Amino acid sequence: MNSANSLKLITLNIWGGHVEGPLLNFVRSKQDIDIFCFQEVYCKAKAKISDETRYINLDIFSEIQSLLPNHTGYFRPVVQGIYGIAMFVKKHLLVIEEGERIIHANDNYIGIGPTHSRILQYAKIEYSSQRLTVINVHGLWNGMGKGDSAERIEQSLKIRNFLDSGSDHKILCGDFNLKPDTKSLEILAKGMNDHIKMSSVQSTRTSFYPGLERFADYIYTSKNVDVQNFQVLPEEISDHAALQIDFTIADGKATTEIRKEL
């Protein structure tokens, strides 16, 4: 790490571990990362929640945990107890609370497909006499593109309420299934640094993704999180690109310096 307070975070939609070998090699090579936030994670599943024919690793959570012996894994299911989102936090960080909040409820979900309920996962971390809250999100998919909808606005308002509920340093990240110009993201960006926008990123997808809409993934940080480096990582390990920030947490407002490294 760059200094006593320096930390590194990666967020990635792992696509259920479809690109298994390269993904696991990537994780194995990133032992210096302090916090991983992953979406589309299976844990001890017997079957997929999708009827797609592509390969899925049905226990990718355990596979990743085995490669990160110095991290503690936290799995938060959203479907059938076997599919959801996850964090891996390095053991030198004190996690004083880890949990979830419902941000979209679909009581009519039929048990297969992407229209299931959605949660945010959070970890409250104490480090270097400071408090940091990391929030991991896999946002609503409604089958009608990545624009605004009433449900997505409501989802963002629920995330916003959680963001506003404490005075910790905050990082909000994940796959939001939203275009950059949406009201839904505007709600989240208020009072936060939007590193996709600030770095003029042109895509958060890889060559595995055939669609024309090239945005889905975002990282937001509160003003008192000093980000020294932001990157869209080049590795092709999913249909999403991994995003990384290197940052420090300090008292008061910090000047944020962003460099684009594609």
What is the set of domains in the chain, with CATH numbers?
A: 7-261 (3.60.10.10)
Note the pLDDT of residue 223: 95
Note the pLDDT of residue 167: 85
Query: How would you write the chain as a 3-class SS string?
Result: CCCCCCEEEEEEECHHHCCHHHHHHHHHHCCCCCEEEEEEEECCCCCCCCCCCCCCCCCHHHHHHHHCCCEEEEEEEEECCCEEEEEEEECCCEEEEEEEEEEECCCCCCCCCCCCCEEEEEEEEEECCEEEEEEEEECCCCCCCCCCCHHHHHHHHHHHHHHCCCCCEEEEEEECCCCCCCHHHHHHHCCEEEHHHHCCCCCCECCCCCCCCCCCEEEEEECCEEEEEEEECCCCCCCECCEEEEEEECCCCCCCCCCEEC
Note the pLDDT of residue 30: 98
Note the pLDDT of residue 251: 63
Cα–Cα distance for residue pair 121/74, rounded to 1 Å? 9
Note the pLDDT of residue 261: 36
Note the pLDDT of residue 258: 30
Note the pLDDT of residue 177: 98
Note the pLDDT of residue 128: 87
Residues 6+ apart with CB under 8 A from 233: 10, 241, 242, 243, 244
The pair of structure tokens assigned to 60 is 């990718």
Cα–Cα distance for residue pair 251/34, rounded to 1 Å? 20
| Residues 34 and 9 sit within 8 Å (Cβ to Cβ) | yes
- Describe the strand order of the beta sheet including 169-175 as a list of residue ranges: 94-104, 118-127, 130-138, 169-175, 217-222, 192-194
Residue segments in the chain with a per-residue pLDDT below the cut of 50: 1-3, 252-262
Note the pLDDT of residue 99: 98
| Residues 142 and 17 sit within 8 Å (Cβ to Cβ) | no
